[in-house]
């Protein structure tokens, strides 16, 4: 068929290897693959080989090895058909060679062109994500998943691509290895899990662990190898009586066993705080039945009945995914039995059909779907992912969190009063249930009955619960619910409802405060409002408006505040940051501390200091400050005529200033602290900061609850060393437990 010598410019050994692997690909094709399909695969292989001619991978291998291996994974391990195999062969052609998408369309048609286009787009996003910025990555993940939502084959091929890249990761640079391994465990392994591709998921996770945590990986894999023969002997002994009994029936079956993935053993060790030796289910036994679709369910339960006659089972660990399959289509019956040796053993019972779905996931699921006519919960899941993707308010990191949650969680089946089945993530509450049915039902939720009993809103649902939601027209979502809802849908709906309510409250509160100003015959002024909010200890104007809306403010407070503003005299120190202290540069401005009064009420707004051009003040001059606006202070010489003109008109804007000499530069920073409250602690802390460490405190806030305090200090330091010393010193104060720099 091919001339073995220098095929596509390859060496003889390379050509041989390539042809062997291509023949292997042909052997993995479905039996019913037509002549036309085979010709199309050949055509794609030829085009890809030609296009990647002369290109090599990091490992030095010819580039064409990669798309060919990806195609083999698609066919052999995922069970995909011709369209996907052709797309896999072509997946890097548009990205990396002179061929265009139009070329692909002309040769292979629209469908394959659109899949290749999706794969090319994903590569672009992945490259952008290389910036290493988490939120950028999350944003790119979102784009990747949007692409996926067009045709799930895009993501299946992408998973095959990623799997091959992970298998050949050793030739990459260590930085790339880390980045690619991290992406794999954050995005691709959960995706594979969700699509039911258990083998691929496990291999991806194992490979990611191998690069992210090589010591652990090597330790566990060598322990698995060391214990292999002992384990095999144990399993054979364990199975003997089961096989004897099964052979007395007419059931056609086979039994397999394998150790679980290294990554899943590792996860168990971490979660349950166990040593390798203490994990009992490092392997699982599978009894796979050759049964017809009509009989398979009954046959599985027959096996269940037989093996539980032989050994005692643990009812807590019985998992029936035959009656209610997992959302990704997984069906199986899991039983955990107590062996004669006093060791728990997990046995999975399933039919050949169920086994294929478990191994090949989504693709196999569709192959069988026509036979049983059931609608796919996987479709529903893909829809819910689309919902997450289309939520425009979500910030990228939150999105990633939601997504990881959506990808990882297992569902439990619950029922409506009319018996309609709903799959909800484990840990869902009755409020999640309400929102899962309809947003309106959640928004007006007032209570729920589970199995006819009235329960509180935070009640966590159990498998098989029947839930009846009670509503009231006037009832509204509560912020408390956010603490316990599990589903993204409920979370987002509650946030939206609360946000709407809050916006209305803020508007109302602002109106109230505006009216107070009118009442006091004062001009309403944003800057004043901001100072007023700070004065009362609110973080921002919005909080102030909310307080007003709730009736927590009265006009007296505002009046007092406004009076204090009129009488206060500004007295500020300032210093000049210019390196040349003799010529003041008018473009320079710096922030400095307020004077030595420790004033927690002061505005946090930085003030710009501008050396005015008209008189060019220098050190030694008598100085005066003039607020050209609330945030900008012009520095003049007292005898400057321009200043005098201005001061004559706007006398209230004049403020005293003086050079601050012989002081190093200072930087504003903020530290948080926690500890046990005691008398005098505030004095001790502030004395240490201002006297011993010679630092200016700008803001000092402590909140005490039940004998413990937490708080924040804003202050000025000369440099990072100064800050570190300060933190260490504060830690030595009796009662202080934790001191840290706030970001």
CA distance 481 to 458: 7
User: Closest separation between CB of residue 91 and Mn ion, Å?
Assistant: 6
Select 92 or 394, whichever has its Cβ closest to Mn ion: 92
Beta bridge partners of 467: 450
CB of 24 to Mn ion, least distance (A): 19
What residues act catalytically?
95-96
Q: Which is nearer to Mn ion, 77 or 161 (CB)?
A: 161
Q: Which is nearer to Mn ion, 40 or 48 (CB)?
A: 48
Alpha carbon distance 326, 354 (integer Å): 12
**Contact criterion met (CB below 8 Å) for 266 and 209:** yes
Compute the least distance from the CB of residue 161 to Mn ion, in Å. 4
- Cβ distance to Mn ion smaller for residue 161 or 331: 161
Which ranges of 248-351 would DSSP assign to H, the alpha helix? Answer: 262-272, 296-310
Question: To the nearest whole angstrom, how small is the minimum distance from the Cβ of residue 66 to Mn ion?
Answer: 6
- Is 329:378 a contact under the CB 8 Å cutoff? yes
State the alpha helices, DSSP H only, in 665-719. 681-687
Q: What is the C-alpha separation between 424 and 420, in angstroms, rounded?
A: 13
The H-or-E segment that residue 35 falls in is helix 35-51
CA distance 159 to 164: 9
Structure tokens at 653: 């804007």
Q: Which is nearer to Mn ion, 77 or 296 (CB)?
A: 77
Tokens coding 673: 């602290």
Nearer to Mn ion, 92 or 465 (CB): 92
What does the angle CA 255 – CA 261 – CA 264 come to, to the nearest 5 degrees?
120
- List contacts with Mn ion (CB under 5 A): 92, 161
Ramachandran sector of residue 79 (left: φ over 0; alpha: ψ -120 to 50; beta: rest): left
Residues 6+ apart with CB under 8 A from 657: 572, 573, 574, 623, 624, 625, 633, 635
Are the C-beta atoms of residues 707 and 677 closer than 8 Å to each other?
A: yes
Which residues, at least 6 apart from 526, have a Cβ–Cβ distance to it below 8 Å?
A: 541
φ/ψ bin of 324: left (φ > 0), alpha (ψ from -120 to 50), beta (otherwise) = beta
Which of 437, 439, 434 is closest to 449 using CA atoms?
Answer: 434
- Least distance (Å) from Mn ion to the CB of residue 57? 10
- Of all residues in this chain, which one has the CB nearest to Mn ion in the complex? 161
Strand order in the sheet with 697-705: 697-705, 708-717, 667-676, 736-741
- Distance (Å, rounded) from C-alpha 313 to C-alpha 640? 95
59's tokens: 């490992």
Q: Alpha-carbon torsion 313, 319, 323, 329, what sign? A: negative
Task: Please say which residue, 162 or 491, places its beta carbon nearer to Mn ion.
Answer: 162
Sheet strands (E) in 630-687: 632-637, 654-659, 667-676
Categorise residue 302: left if φ over 0, alpha if ψ from -120 to 50, beta otherwise. alpha
Nearer to Mn ion, 153 or 575 (CB): 153
Under a CB-based contact definition with an 8 Å cutoff, are residues 407 and 193 in contact? yes
C-beta neighbour count of 648 within 10 angstroms: 8
CA–CA separation, 63 vs 501, rounded Å? 58
Of 92 and 296, which CB lies nearer to Mn ion in the complex structure? 92
Q: How far is the CB of 607 from Mn ion (least distance, A)?
A: 56
Place of tokens 């990881």: 404
Q: How many CB atoms lie within 10 A of CB 278?
A: 10
Q: What is the enclosing helix (H) or strand (E) of 105?
A: helix 101-129
Find tokens 């072509």 and name the residue: 90
Task: For residue 261, give Cα distances in angstroms to 200, 201, 213.
Answer: 11, 9, 15
161 vs 355 by CB, closer to Mn ion: 161
Give residues with Cβ within 8 angstroms of 165, minimum separation 6.
Answer: 66, 180
Contacts of 578 (CB under 8 A, 6+ apart): 584, 585, 588
Query: CA-CA distance, 152 to 381, in Å (whole number)?
Result: 12
Question: With respect to Mn ion, which residue has the nearer C-beta, 204 or 285?
Answer: 204
User: What is the rounded CA–CA span in Å between residue 319 and residue 736?
Assistant: 50
CA distance 471 to 481: 15
**Eight-state DSSP code of residue 466:** B
């Amino acid at each position: 068929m091919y001339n073995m010598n220098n095929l596509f410019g390859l060496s003889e050994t390379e050509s041989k290897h390539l042809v062997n692997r291509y023949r292997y690909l042909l052997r993995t094709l479905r039996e019913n693959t037509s002549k036309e399909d085979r010709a199309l695969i050949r055509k794609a292989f030829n085009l890809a080989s030609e296009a990647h001619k002369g290109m090599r991978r990091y490992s030095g291998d010819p580039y064409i090895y990669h798309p060919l291996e990806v195609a083999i994974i698609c066919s052999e391990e995922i069970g995909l058909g011709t369209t996907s195999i052709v797309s896999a062969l072509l997946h890097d052609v548009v990205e990396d060679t002179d061929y265009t998408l139009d070329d692909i369309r002309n040769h292979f048609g629209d469908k394959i062109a659109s899949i290749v286009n999706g794969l090319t787009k994903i590569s672009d996003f992945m490259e952008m994500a290389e910036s290493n910025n988490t939120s950028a990555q999350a944003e790119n993940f979102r784009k990747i998943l949007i692409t996926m939502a067009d045709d799930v084959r895009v993501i299946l091929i992408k998973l095959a691509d990623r799997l091959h890249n992970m298998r050949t990761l050793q030739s990459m640079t260590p930085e790339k290895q880390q980045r690619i391994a991290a992406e794999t465990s954050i995005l691709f392994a959960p995706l594979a899990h969700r699509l039911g591709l258990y083998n691929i998921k496990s291999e991806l996770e194992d490979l990611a662990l191998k690069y992210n945590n090589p010591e652990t990986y090597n330790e566990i894999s060598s322990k698995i190898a060391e214990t292999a023969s002992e384990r095999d002997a144990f399993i054979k002994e364990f199975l003997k009586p089961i096989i004897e009994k099964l052979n007395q029936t007419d059931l056609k079956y086979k039994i397999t066993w394998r150790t679980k993935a290294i990554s899943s053993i590792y996860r168990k060790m971490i979660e349950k705080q166990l040593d390798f030796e203490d994990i009992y289910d490092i392997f699982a036994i599978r009894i796979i039945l050759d049964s017809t679709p009509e009989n398979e369910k009954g046959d599985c339960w027959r096996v269940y009945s037989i093996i539980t006659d032989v050994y005692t089972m643990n009812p807590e660990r019985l998992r029936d995914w035959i009656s209610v399959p997992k959302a990704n289509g997984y069906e199986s019956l899991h039983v955990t039995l107590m062996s004669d040796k006093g060791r728990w053993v997990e046995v999975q019972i399933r039919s050949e059909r169920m086994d294929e779905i478990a191994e090949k996931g989504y693709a196999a699921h569709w192959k069988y779907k026509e036979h049983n006519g059931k609608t796919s919960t996987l479709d529903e899941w893909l829809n819910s992912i689309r919902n997450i993707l289309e939520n425009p308010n979500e910030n990228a990191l939150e999105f990633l969190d939601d997504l990881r949650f959506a990808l990882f969680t297992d569902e439990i089946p619950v029922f409506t009063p009319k018996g309609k089945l709903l799959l909800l993530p484990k840990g869902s509450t009755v409020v999640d249930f309400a929102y899962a049915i309809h947003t309106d039902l959640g928004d007006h939720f007032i209570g729920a009955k589970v199995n006819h009993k009235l329960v509180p809103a935070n009640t966590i649902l159990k498998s098989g619960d029947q839930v009846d939601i009670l509503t009231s027209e006037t009832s509204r979502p509560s912020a408390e619910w956010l603490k316990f809802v599990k589903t993204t849908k409920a979370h987002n709906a509650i946030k939206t409802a609360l946000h709407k309510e809050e916006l209305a409250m803020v508007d109302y509160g602002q109106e109230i405060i505006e009216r107070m100003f009118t009442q006091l015959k004062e001009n309403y002024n944003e800057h004043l409002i901001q100072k007023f909010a700070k004065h009362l200890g609110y973080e921002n104007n919005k909080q102030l408006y909310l307080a007003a809306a709730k009736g927590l403010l009265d006009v007296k407070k505002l009046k007092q505040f406004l009076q204090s503003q009129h009488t206060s005299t500004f007295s500020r120190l300032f210093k000049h940051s210019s390196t040349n202290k003799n010529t003041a540069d008018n473009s320079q401005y710096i922030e400095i501390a307020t004077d030595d009064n420790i004033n927690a009420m002061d505005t946090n707004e930085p003030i710009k200091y501008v050396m005015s051009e008209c008189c060019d003040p220098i050190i030694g001059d008598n100085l005066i400050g003039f607020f050209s606006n609330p945030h900008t202070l012009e520095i003049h010489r007292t005898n400057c005529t321009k200043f005098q003109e201005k001061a004559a008109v706007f006398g209230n804007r004049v403020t005293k200033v003086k050079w601050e000499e012989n002081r190093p530069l200072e930087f504003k920073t903020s530290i948080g602290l926690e500890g046990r409250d005691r008398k005098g602690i505030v004095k001790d802390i502030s004395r240490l900061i201002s006297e011993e460490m010679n630092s200016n405190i700008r803001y000092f806030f402590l909140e005490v609850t039940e004998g413990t305090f937490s708080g924040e200090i804003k202050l000025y330091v000369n440099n990072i060393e100064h800050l570190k010393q300060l933190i260490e010193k504060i830690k030595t104060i009796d009662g202080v437990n934790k001191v840290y720099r706030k970001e």
